[in-house]
Structure 1
Amino acid sequence: MGDAVDELYGVFGLIRRPARVEGCSHCVGPDEDRRLLDRPLRSLPPEDLARYAAKALNTWGGAEEFRYFVPRLLECAAADAFGYPDPEIVFGKLVTAEWRTWVADERAAVEAFLRAWWAEALEDHPVRPGIATRLSCLATTGVGLDPFLSAWGRLATTAAIRHLREFVIDDVEWWPDPRLIVFWDRHGPGYRQVITWLTDGRLVAAVEAAFEGETRDDVLELLAEIHTALAPG
């Protein structure tokens, strides 16, 4: 994760610091951008950046200014350091900024950061923000979720199993039809990818395979709870 953050700052550090970040005169004070620009980006406190994080690309600044702030915005959102805005709002601004049209090095740095952030969750439990929030954040960026779900579905760590148990019990409503209950665009492709992953049998098979190879009683109990949620019959 540290390497991915460093790469973000290295790649986006080539973008010149804006002289000003203009905003809607009704929403942003005339000198409110000074707190964003008068210190090095990496040392910018989350509380100084939070208001911009909420208003960026809507009523404060455009895509070029946003690209300058991307490393710190993603670093803070990934740590749930803002309080408000929610991490999903910040990650979703990548789509508003049309990040898929950025130069190859910038796209690659963002993608590497997203992969590292997800891998971190699969190695540790608990994490903040939780894995349900991380998954919905990934969906808001427009990336395909299948590689992330496949990595989770390997259940290669106890952390991944614990996260899955919490997810299927706390973050999914199963009746009358499966529904995700955190911050999701239910019409987006990511939502459908997760529902399909939960219901098409792949995950049930992975849980059963993990159960066969497991000997620890506490982990077997977790797998049994997951299996009951996925295949109650």
Structure 2
Amino acid sequence: MTTPSQRLRTALDALDTAFALPPEAPFAIGGCTRCYTVAELEALAGPAHLVPDDLVSCVAVEATDHWADFPALYHRTTPRIVRLLTTGRLHSGFGMIASWLLAAGWRDWAPAQQQALEQVWDAWWRSTLHEYPGNEGATGVLETVAVSTGSLSPWLAVWTGTRTEAAGRHLDDALDHWLAPPGLADLRLGFRDEMLAGPELLDWLISLEEGRIGAAQLFEIERLAYS
């Protein structure tokens, strides 16, 4: 039986394949020469699979105006960024990576590439809910997949249907995060606050069956939802 972590590895390999075909065309990169050396810019212009991990990590969260052609650069490095992110080698920038994927226009990429990325997101989310503590907390993973795809509901539906101990512990941690000031009601996700998530999260939390949320947290959720 295939485990969630195995599904994630398979999805990441499929993402590499989707971006490797057809063969990469020559790529010219211009960027901020105060932040990046000529050698680093040359590396970014070379084969994407040869770019050092630390340089890929910089691209993942660098301001978009640091590059002459940000959409093209982010597109060609997306498989590398996503692999680092989903395997726990990038521990910050979840909202930024989601926002940068939107800024790079990932919804206009080749259908096979879009589908491969969506499959990684699905596998990553399910893997997260089956492992605790795992590489990352559920809130960061949820922010990435929801903001980049433009929808919370399918990811929350998976969480509802996942009754593992890990999913429950991730929910406890998420509630500690969401209920902390400034609170859940006006919560926005994404580096650019693209997604107003609070109202939908409140509705979802209220809908969960009895016993999945502790009494103290549930009291605060109901206060927010019905005030």
**TM-score with structure 2 length normalisation?**
0.78
**Structure 1 Cα separation of the partners of residues 15 and 90 of structure 2:** 19
Give 1:78 shift.
Answer: 2.6
| Structure 2 residues not aligned, in runs of 5+ | 1-7
Find the partner of 2:180 among 167, 173, 179.
173
Aligned position for 2:87: 79
Letter in 2 for 1:191: L
1:182 to 1:127, Cα distance in 2 relative to 1, 3 A: farther
Find the partner of 2:206 among 192, 196, 204.
204
* Aligned residue pair count: 215
The superposition leaves residues 121-170 of structure 1 with CA deviations (integer Å, 9 ceiling, x where unpaired) of 11111123211111222243143111001111235222111111111123
Aligned position for 2:3: none
Letter in 2 for 1:230: I
The superposition leaves residues 150-198 of structure 1 with CA deviations (integer Å, 9 ceiling, x where unpaired) of 1112352221111111111233237786344886654x3x333xx2233
1:99 to 1:19, Cα distance in 2 relative to 1, 3 A: closer
Aligned position for 1:31: 39
Find the partner of 2:71 among 54, 63, 77.
63
Aligned position for 1:52: 59
SS at match of 1:156: coil
Find the partner of 1:22 among 30, 52, 55.
30
Give 1:100 shift.
Answer: 0.7
Aligned position for 1:128: 135
**Structure 2 Cα separation of the partners of residues 13 and 33 of structure 1:** 21
Give 1:77 shift.
Answer: 2.2
**Structure 2 Cα separation of the partners of residues 74 and 24 of structure 1:** 23
Letter in 1 for 2:113: E
**Structure 2 Cα separation of the partners of residues 33 and 73 of structure 1:** 17
Letter in 1 for 2:71: A
Give 1:17 shift.
Answer: 5.7
| Structure 1 residues not aligned, in runs of 5+ | 212-219
Letter in 2 for 1:227: L
Contact (CA 8 Å) 1:54, 1:90: kept in 2 or not?
A: yes
1:72 to 1:38, Cα distance in 2 relative to 1, 3 A: same
**TM-score with structure 1 length normalisation?**
0.76
**Structure 2 Cα separation of the partners of residues 155 and 196 of structure 1:** 22
- The CA RMSD measured in Å over matched residues stands at 3.1
The superposition leaves residues 198-227 of structure 1 with CA deviations (integer Å, 9 ceiling, x where unpaired) of 323x4334231xx3xxxxxxxx7x644553
Q: Percent identity?
A: 22
Aligned position for 1:215: none
Alignment partner of 1:191 is 2:193: no
1:29 to 1:119, Cα distance in 2 relative to 1, 3 A: same
SS at match of 2:66: coil
